[in-house]
Amino acid sequence: MKKNKIFVACDTTNIKKIKKIITHTKNPKFKIGYKFGLEFLNSKNGRKFVSKLKNKIIFADYKLHDIPNTCMSTIKAIKDLKINYLTIHISSGLEALKAAKKVSEDIKLVGVSILTSMDDRLVKQIGFSKKVSEIVKDQAKIASKAKLDAIVCSPLEVRLVKKYFKNEVITPGIRFNSKLNDQKRTLSPRQAFKNGSDWLVIGRPITKGNIKNNLKNLTAHLIK
């Protein structure tokens, strides 16, 4: 039976909490990976901790966004972390994406489209004239040209992205209820997988409170 794939977002700098998350998310019903963001990777002990993790799928959410040479040198500098997935903003441009892909080797390079905290009103504020869906469509085409390994987009755009990008699609913005927090474009886990997401990124709905019970609730939600 195919396992649903989940990246658990470890959004804390507390090593003790991270260890608890990893221990309590061992579940045979899911293929589990762990997403670490800038908060943790730039913390005093975060980088060291990630570099020592073994037999785990590691998603390093660096969200690189720079000129081609800097993107290349950054990827070379973090290869000691032995990560599996690494993010780069598609808005860095085709040349930067190609340069990053050239040196990524065994690391899967993941293009970040429009953040799930943005909507049509907010992208207009920062100078875009198109709607989010139109921008994401253009970015999917660029990611395909750059031969990226995966794309991050909201669950609302998965079906659209899959028309133009044939590799993995990773979706944050996953919520079990109406509490959106800082997210704007969200869906439930079941809806996201139905739309074609390959991986879901889930943080607070799993890590807040009783982690094992939260995973049980996720399992029940998916089989409804």
Percentages of the chain per state (helix, strand, coil), in multiples of 5: 45, 20, 35
Asked whether the beta carbons of 87 and 63 are under 8 A apart, the reply is: yes
Per-residue confidence (pLDDT) for residue 177, from 0 to 100? 63
**Which residues contact residue 183 at a Cβ distance below 8 angstroms, ignoring those fewer than 6 apart?**
116, 117, 172, 173, 175
Per-residue confidence (pLDDT) for residue 163, from 0 to 100? 97
Per-residue confidence (pLDDT) for residue 181, from 0 to 100? 53
Point out the residues that are catalytic.
Answer: 63
The Cα–Cα gap between 57 and 33 comes to 4
Per-residue confidence (pLDDT) for residue 187, from 0 to 100? 84
Helix (H, G, I), strand (E, B) or coil at 100: helix
Q: For 80-134, how does the pLDDT look when each residue is reduced to its tens digit (9 = 90+)? A: 898 999 999 999 999 999 999 999 999 999 999 998 888 889 989 988 889 999 9
Instruction: Indicate if the pLDDT at residue 185 is higher than 70.
Output: no
Delineate the domains of the chain, giving CATH numbers in brackets: 4-222 (3.20.20.70)
The Cα–Cα gap between 91 and 143 comes to 10
Per-residue confidence (pLDDT) for residue 182, from 0 to 100? 53
Per-residue confidence (pLDDT) for residue 117, from 0 to 100? 83
The Cα–Cα gap between 186 and 170 comes to 13
The Cα–Cα gap between 166 and 147 comes to 10
Instruction: Indicate if the pLDDT at residue 176 is higher than 90.
Output: no
Per-residue confidence (pLDDT) for residue 56, from 0 to 100? 96
Q: For 188-200, how does the pLDDT look when each residue is reduced to its tens digit (9 = 90+)? A: 899 999 999 999 9
| pTM for the model | 0.92
Positive or negative torsion for Cα 131, 133, 136, 141: negative
Q: For 29-79, how does the pLDDT look when each residue is reduced to its tens digit (9 = 90+)? A: 899 999 999 999 998 899 999 999 999 999 999 999 999 999 999 999 998
Instruction: Indicate if the pLDDT at residue 180 is higher than 60.
Output: no
Positive or negative torsion for Cα 37, 38, 44, 49: positive
The larger pLDDT score, comparing residue 173 to residue 196, is at 196
Per-residue confidence (pLDDT) for residue 175, from 0 to 100? 77
Following DSSP, what letter does each residue of 130-162 receive, concatenated? S-HHHHHHHHHHHHHHTT-SEEE--GGGHHHHH
